[in-house]
Amino acid sequence: MSNSKLKFMKNSKAAGEYDVLILGSGAGGKLIAWTLGKKGMKVAVVERKYIGGACPNIACLPSKNVIQSAKVASYFFRSAEFGITKDNTRIDMAAVRERKRRMVTGLVDLHLDLYKKSGAELIMGSGRFTAPKTIEVTSADGQKRVVRGKKVVINTGSHATIDSTPGLAEAKPLTHIEALELDRIPEHLLLVGGGYVGLEFAQAMRRFGSRVTVIERNSRLLSREDEDISIAMHELLKDEGIEVITGARINRVEGQSGNWVKLYANHDGSEITLQGTDIMVAAGRTPNTNGIGLDVAGVQLTKNGYIKVNDRLETTAPDVWAAGDCAGSPQFTHISENDFLIIHDNILGGQRVTTGRQVPFCMFTDPEFARIGLNETEAKEKGIAYRVAKIPMAAILRTRTISEPRGFLKALVDANSDRILGFTILGAEGGEIMPTVQVAMLAGIPYTTLRDAIFAHPTMHEGLNALFGAVPAKT
Ligand SMILES: Cc1cc2nc3c(=O)[nH]c(=O)nc-3n(C[C@H](O)[C@H](O)[C@H](O)COP(=O)(O)OP(=O)(O)OC[C@H]3O[C@@H](n4cnc5c(N)ncnc54)[C@H](O)[C@@H]3O)c2cc1C
């Protein structure tokens, strides 16, 4: 960084005056803080509750921790298949929760250490703009403090949407936050939402022993994916004993979660009722942009309530950026982390943009579902001519050694060149296989390289030889 840029950052001496002030300690915000703090800038992050944001406390990492416990449970219940006998298997949800809590505590300590080492200040309290680039922080004990930044980054994240369906809020539904804190197994969980958060929880809870009913408003699960994925996922969940009801619109809710709950829904032109003991909502996210004074800060919102940003993640207020879920970025931790790179460079005078970036994702059901690049539905919508190859996971010999033959792999290759357009996998270790194709796409490597590459045997990656070997010839 040039000396002149560092100088403007270093001359804010007044108390409560920072070179860079960040509201919310999500993935993007904390990385900006640590990186600029290490460069000697005066940086502060205002965080109301979760040190390190949602990912390590209430979202990605604790959910995968609990999912892993559920996988161990499923192995126990399948143990005879592997030639291992068992007696008296019992799920202790309090111990499952304890394992998760231990991990979260460790992660919070790790974060505190990184704050300390970077020199970035962590201010615990709820922040609200009172003027442009000026935030009033109210701590848990009600004390107030005003802080100001020459540059400001908003990284306040999102929360689970609880819509206005009559009776839903009164039913006190579980969201992922409460579900991750359960020390009991719900007898019958009604899970509203067939997206990735809902399906990960549905499978985990089923594996712990709950009866689970998933209620999805779209006509199929994972409605943005190709139909073969939706069908395969539906089958997979059904095989585990999960009831899935698609195309259902909930009209009203009665009862209270943890006791009994009744849902009334329109389904196929008639009203159905579903009764369970618990209800969980995983039906979309609402950005944390309400009631934080964005109007007085000159920060405008989109019609859906996200912070309006350009491709440099600049808001409508000068020297104010937004990162992660609240900025309408694709709602993944790795995208918020990429937002950090963009904002970091732009704060320092660079020109980095979000346009054209890859958005990989992985859903941690078992088996996993992962995708990078285009699926068939999107290629058709965009009028992009493609060749498609698809093989079953069972074609990979490794899946037979681990008894995980379910699912398939699919690749889209440009119709007129050897460029890889997209890769989808529903299969064991899908999230670990996808990055190989992703890197090939980033590097512009033709599909034939993966087709002909020598992968160690017997690994899942051998499937890429077979998959790309099945790409039809150009016509
Ligand atoms: C159950 C679940 C599982 C998920 N699993 C994955 C996954 O496997 N992989 C993945 O990539 N993504 C996953 N996600 C999505 C991912 O968690 C989010 O996209 C990511 O955490 C968003 O990060 P962020 O930077 O936008 O902010 P967040 O991490 O949401 O952090 C925002 C922070 O701002 C704080 N804050 C908000 N308002 C204020 C205020 N006024 N004052 C002070 N502080 C404030 C909040 O307390 C919070 O700590 C999952 C989400 C959920 C719900």
CA 236, CA 242: separation in Å to the nearest integer? 9
Torsion sign (Cα): 311, 125, 136, 19:
negative
- Domain-embedded: residue 194: yes
How large a percentage of the chain has pLDDT more than 90? Answer: 93
**What's residue 344's pLDDT?**
97
**What's residue 86's pLDDT?**
79
**What's residue 15's pLDDT?**
57
Examine the domain organization and report whether 242 and 202 are in the same domain: yes
- Domain-embedded: residue 356: no
pLDDT surpasses 60 at 16:
yes
Dump pLDDT digits (tens) for 50-109.
999 999 999 999 999 999 999 999 999 898 888 887 777 889 999 999 999 999 999 999
CATH, residue 425: 3.30.390.30
pLDDT surpasses 80 at 428:
yes
State which ligand 1 atom lies nearest to the alpha carbon of 54. 29
- Cα torsion through 367, 68, 242, 86, rounded to 10: 100
Examine the domain organization and report whether 192 and 263 are in the same domain: yes
Examine the domain organization and report whether 8 and 145 are in the same domain: yes
Average pLDDT over every residue of 112-138: 98
Tokens 């357009």 -> residue: 421
- Domain-embedded: residue 88: no
Residues in contact with ligand 1 (CB, 6 Å cut-off)? 23-28, 46-50, 53-55, 59-60, 63, 126-127, 155-157, 176, 197, 288, 292, 323-326, 331-334, 336, 364
- Domain-embedded: residue 323: yes
- Domain-embedded: residue 139: yes
Which residue among 156, 178, 191 has the greatest number of ligand 1 atoms within 8 angstroms of its CB, and so is best to mutate? 156
Examine the domain organization and report whether 343 and 419 are in the same domain: no
- Domain-embedded: residue 81: no
Examine the domain organization and report whether 275 and 294 are in the same domain: no
Tokens at 392, concatenated? 């079953």
Dump pLDDT digits (tens) for 353-410.
999 999 999 999 999 999 999 999 999 999 999 999 999 999 999 999 999 999 999 9
Q: What are phi and psi of 425, to 5 degrees?
A: -140, 135
Examine the domain organization and report whether 222 and 301 are in the same domain: no
Examine the domain organization and report whether 208 and 101 are in the same domain: no
- Domain-embedded: residue 267: yes
Examine the domain organization and report whether 232 and 291 are in the same domain: no
Among residues 283, 307, 332, the one where a domain terminates is 283
Total structural domains in the chain?
3
Identify the burial level of 253 via C-beta atoms within 10 angstroms of its C-beta, where 0-12 means exposed, 13-18 middle and 19 or more buried: buried
Dump pLDDT digits (tens) for 273-322.
999 999 999 999 999 999 999 999 999 999 999 999 999 999 999 999 99
- Centre of ligand 1 to C-alpha 155, Å, is 9
Examine the domain organization and report whether 269 and 387 are in the same domain: no
Bridge partners, residue 47, by sequence: 124
Examine the domain organization and report whether 268 and 387 are in the same domain: no
Examine the domain organization and report whether 291 and 149 are in the same domain: yes
Examine the domain organization and report whether 132 and 48 are in the same domain: yes
The closest of 275, 284, 74, 54 to 186, measured between CA atoms, is 275
CA 339, CA 143: separation in Å to the nearest integer? 32
Position 128, amino acid = R
Identify the domain containing residue 417 by its residue range: 367-469
**What's residue 108's pLDDT?**
98
- Centre of ligand 1 to C-alpha 197, Å, is 13
Q: Reduced to 3 states, what is the DSSP secondary structure of residue 82? A: helix
Query: What are the residues whose beta carbons fall under 8 Å from the beta carbon of 380, sequence distance 6 or more?
Result: none
CATH, residue 304: 3.50.50.60
- Domain-embedded: residue 357: no
CA 321, CA 308: separation in Å to the nearest integer? 10
